[in-house]
Structure 1
């Protein structure tokens, strides 16, 4: 099995067998409970109705508080446990995340500093040379302004977001994300 974090170049392949990959020691199809909860710093879950960012006196972000629909505060451990048995996203501090469905890992995402490995790709043309021609491309806009592209590679069940403003890849996800398997 190939550990993505030890071999980021595998992400440039236009065709991947996702059953041969793991990220952060976790394979697609693995039970979500196999993800070490102490690595999780943020959660997106159906049990959470409200999230509040918490800051210290110097206005440094020190964490988040989670609340259920009744306004009861939930600990991060409670939210992780619920999410690991259902659907949602678990985010690690080292800028990778896991998509969960029915308590199973169905997708990976990698972003932020982790993508510095591809910093030599300073143009969309260089990106296309390295990653190959996508099966589908979507122009990304915000407020009517062109921001970049999302490239879909159906043979890899992958999408890559190219930020044209910063001239870099900002997100790669693999697995069960909308658009990753074709129209």
Structure 2
């Protein structure tokens, strides 16, 4: 198995067999309970009807009946069903039916790609995408989402900060084609 975080260059590949990679020792297809509980700082699950949180704000989760949920309750639901497990080291696991089906990498890990200072650099490094979408808000270009179906990968380019801001692999919308 190739540990992605130890070999970020593997993410340049336009074709990647996801059965050969893992992130923090977790492979796609493993039970979500394999994600170390102590590393999870936030979670998302269908048990949450209302969420309050953000940068420098403690997360609060609420059930549909108005009852406040603990992080442990949300994580317990997510690892048995569907959701996302956000970890302290700026990686996220997507969960479907209790199984890890996707990885997201962001934050300091992406400093590996800091030399890519333009969208043209991204295209030269990662190759021609199978599909690309401009993200435009109020007439301003926010960035590009580039999809590589042979690797089930999205590379997001942030046009304001001139950097790769997110890479995800696996079962995310758009990663396998239209």
TM-score (ref. length: structure 1)? 0.93
Look up the match of 1:35: 35
Match of 1:147 among 142, 152, 155: 142
Look up the match of 2:3: 3
Alignment of 1:88-127 (within 5 A): 88-127=83-122
Taking the aligned partners of 1:22 and 1:63, their CA distance within structure 2 comes to 30
Match of 1:128 among 91, 110, 123: 123
SS at match of 2:93: strand
How far off is 1:62 after superposition?
Answer: 5.6
SS at match of 1:120: coil
Spell out, residue by residue over 1:36-89, the C-alpha distance to the aligned partner (whole angstroms, 9 max, x if none): 1111011111001122339xxxxx936212111111111111110110000011
Match of 1:165 among 150, 157, 160: 160
Alignment of 1:5-24 (within 5 A): 5-24=5-24
SS at match of 2:111: helix
Alignment of 1:46-85 (within 5 A): 46-53=46-53, 61=56, 63-85=58-80
Corresponding pairs, count: 178
Taking the aligned partners of 2:61 and 2:143, their CA distance within structure 1 comes to 33
RMSD: 1.4
Look up the match of 1:26: 26
Which blocks of at least 5 consecutive residues in structure 2 are unaligned?
A: none
